[in-house]
């Protein structure tokens, strides 16, 4: 069985966390060995970088370097070995988040991000990306009801609309890889879409 790499994306408050465990379970019940992980994070080093990333003030270049440093360690220690064993890696965020947050959100140089992407990942790309999409205003209301904000989550509605547009641009550039999920719907309807994508575009 060849390994597969699934990533989950969307602005903060899109509700992706509510579905990730169910998604992993869906795959497990169909006989797949699943590694559930996240970015930034997924290794002890990358989790340490995540703490710095979420709580220290820094500029966009430092943000980009930190997330790619974490990604390098994560790819080397977790993602590539799991794929080589034929497992399914389900990762909560990956490089599309860097293009959306640092690129579109912060206005950081996309060509430089593309160079870092190439440098860190070589040809590795997700096989499938589930993009939980909803308006920034709805996501902000959900976040306010759910949790204390970290450094990124304190950003403005304008910032999150730019991040959302950044995801839309990535999706338009890779339509075979991306599946857009309408995350503004009630939770059951969102799951139905996820299950449908898994059934049609993954493997039963
Ligand atoms: P999470 O709370 O969904 O785990 O994501 C952590 C935060 O980090 C979230 O606000 C998005 C942000 N982020 C980036 O800005 N760039 C990246 O490359 C990644 C992976 C996450």
* Top mutation candidate among 152, 153, 154, 183 for ligand 1, by most atoms within 8 Å of CB: 152
CA 131 to chain centre: 8
Catalogue the E-assigned strands of 55-124.
88-92
Instruction: Give CA–CA dist 134/132, Å, rounded.
Output: 7
**What is the band of 164 on the pLDDT scale with cuts at 50, 70, 90?**
very high
Question: Is residue 113 lining ligand 1, measured as CB closer than 6 Å?
Answer: no
pLDDT of residue 119: 97
- The structure tokens listed for 192 are 């139905």
**What is the band of 203 on the pLDDT scale with cuts at 50, 70, 90?**
low
| CA–CA–CA angle 139, 181, 94 (5° rounding) | 80
- The structure tokens listed for 3 are 């390994």
φ and ψ at residue 115, rounded to 5 degrees: -65, -45
Looking at per-residue pLDDT, the higher value among 178 and 151 belongs to 178
pLDDT of residue 146: 84
Q: Taking 70 as the threshold, does the pLDDT of residue 1 lie above it?
A: no
What is the DSSP track for 38-101?
ESS-SSHHHHHHHHHHHHS---HHHHHHHHHHHHHHHIIIIIHHHHHTTPEEEEE--HHHIIII
**CATH code of 141's domain:** 3.40.50.300
Q: Computed from CA positions of residues 106, 38, 51, 61, in that sequence, does the dihedral angle turn out positive or negative?
A: negative
Residue ranges making up the domain that contains 73: 4-200
CA 49 to chain centre: 17
Q: How many domains does the chain have?
A: 1
Å from CA of 204 to ligand 1 middle: 30
Atom index in ligand 1 nearest the CA of residue 95 equals: 18
Å from CA of 93 to ligand 1 middle: 7
Instruction: Give CA–CA dist 33/1, Å, rounded.
Output: 10
Half-sphere exposure for 171 (CA within 13 Å, toward CB): 19
For residue 101, what are the contacts with CB-CB under 8 A and spacing of at least 6? Answer: 63, 152, 163, 166
Give the pTM. Answer: 0.96
pLDDT in tens, 46-102: 999 999 999 999 999 999 999 999 999 999 999 999 999 999 999 999 999 999 999
Question: Is residue 152 lining ligand 1, measured as CB closer than 6 Å?
Answer: yes
């Amino acid at each position: 069985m060849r390994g597969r790499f699934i990533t989950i994306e969307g602005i903060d408050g899109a509700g992706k966390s509510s579905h990730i465990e169910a998604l992993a379970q869906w795959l497990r019940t169909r006989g797949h060995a699943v590694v559930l992980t996240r970015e930034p994070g997924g290794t002890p080093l990358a989790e340490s970088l995540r703490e710095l990333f979420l709580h220290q003030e820094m500029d966009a270049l430092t943000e980009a370097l930190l997330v790619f440093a974490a990604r390098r360690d994560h790819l080397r220690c977790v993602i590539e070995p799991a794929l080589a064993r034929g497992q399914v890696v389900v990762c909560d965020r990956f490089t599309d988040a860097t293009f959306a947050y640092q690129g579109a959100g912060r206005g950081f140089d996309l060509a430089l991000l593309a160079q870092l992407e190439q440098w860190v990942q070589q040809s590795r790309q997700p096989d499938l990306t589930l993009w939980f999409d909803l308006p920034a205003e709805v996501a902000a209301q959900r976040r306010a009801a759910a949790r204390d904000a970290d450094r990124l989550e304190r950003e403005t509605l304008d910032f999150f609309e730019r991040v959302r547009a950044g995801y839309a641009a990535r999706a338009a550039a890779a339509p075979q890889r991306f599946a857009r999920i309408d995350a503004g719907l009630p939770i059951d309807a969102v799951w139905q879409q996820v299950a449908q994508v898994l059934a049609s575009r993954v493997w039963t």
